[in-house]
């Protein structure tokens, strides 16, 4: 009997999405790295760059068999498959197909930036010295600044960052 393949979200190390994607594909595993074009944040450039739609994540098609999943997790930069106490949780194929359609068009995508954040929303810092840190939105400070609560070793630290450097994490990936 052939095991059924399902889509799973694979958490990667910060800025390792492309490396993990390339390596997983070389291992003959179907993968998907949704990307979008975004204006470069660097002040000295006026370029459109391609960035991951979900920073820190790629999608992989796998069975629930631990040996097959281990093959994926042994990839440099791969952290874990998202799930709960019972194990990795599959993502409906229809959602991944919708993402493929969405990212294949030349339409400008609107993501977490420029979206009103509510207290408690999960966010990730995408630019600056704390890029990749995940936390919880606390409040708007004014003048384009926001306060993010970050859990550090069981203690909470509040950090103030530019609101353009923060992106809301999709509920799908929380």
Q: Each residue of 5-49: pLDDT tens digit?
A: 999 999 999 899 999 999 999 999 999 999 887 766 666 667 777
Would strands 48-52 and 83-84 be described as parallel, antiparallel, or unpaired?
unpaired
pLDDT at 23 (0 to 100): 96
Q: Give the pLDDT score at 58.
A: 95
Same domain, residue pair 93 and 12? yes
Q: Give yes or no: residues 150 and 79 share one domain.
A: no
Report if residue 113 sits inside a domain: no
Report the pLDDT value the prediction gives residue 57, as an integer from 0 to 100: 93
Using the structure block, give the residue that is written with the tokens 């070793």: 153
Same domain for 41 and 85, yes or no, is yes
Together in a domain, 12 and 47: yes
Quote the pLDDT of residue 42.
65
DSSP output for 40-81: ---TT---EEEEESSTTEEEEEE-S-HHHHHHHHTSTTEEEE
Per the structure, the complete domain to which residue 34 belongs is given by 6-104
3-state secondary structure of 98: helix
In total, how many domains does the chain have? Answer: 2
Q: Tell whether pTM > 0.95.
A: no
For the segment 76-108, what is each residue's pLDDT rounded down to a tens digit? Answer: 999 999 988 888 999 999 888 988 887 777 665
Residues 78 and 39 in one domain: yes
100 lies in the same domain as 142: no
Q: What is the pLDDT of residues 109-167, one digit of tens each?
A: 555 444 578 888 888 888 777 888 888 999 888 777 888 888 876 778 888 888 888 88
Instruction: For residues 29 and 100, state if they share a domain.
Output: yes
What pLDDT sits at residue 12?
A: 94
What confidence score (pLDDT) does residue 39 get? Answer: 67
Q: For position 60, which CATH number holds? A: 3.30.70.940
The answer as to whether 93 is a domain residue is yes
Indicate if 13 and 87 belong to the same structural domain: yes
pLDDT of residue 45: 66
Residue 112: inside a domain: no
Q: Is residue 30 part of a domain?
A: yes
């Amino acid at each position: 009997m052939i095991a059924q393949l399902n889509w799973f979200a694979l958490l990667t190390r910060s800025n390792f999405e492309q490396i993990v994607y390339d390596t997983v594909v070389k291992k003959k595993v179907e993968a998907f790295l949704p990307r979008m074009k975004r204006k470069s944040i660097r002040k000295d450039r006026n370029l459109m760059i391609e960035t991951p739609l979900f920073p820190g994540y790629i999608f992989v098609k796998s069975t629930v068999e631990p040996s097959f999943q281990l093959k994926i997790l042994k990839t440099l930069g791969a952290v874990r498959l998202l799930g709960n106490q019972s194990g990795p949780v599959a993502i409906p194929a229809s959602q991944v197909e919708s993402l493929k359609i969405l990212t294949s068009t030349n339409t400008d995508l609107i993501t977490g930036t420029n979206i009103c954040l509510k207290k408690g929303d999960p966010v990730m810092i995408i630019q600056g010295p704390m890029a990749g840190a995940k936390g919880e939105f606390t409040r708007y400070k004014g003048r384009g600044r926001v306060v993010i609560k970050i859990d550090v070793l069981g203690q909470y630290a509040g950090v103030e960052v530019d609101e353009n450097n923060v992106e809301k994490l999709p509920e799908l990936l929380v």
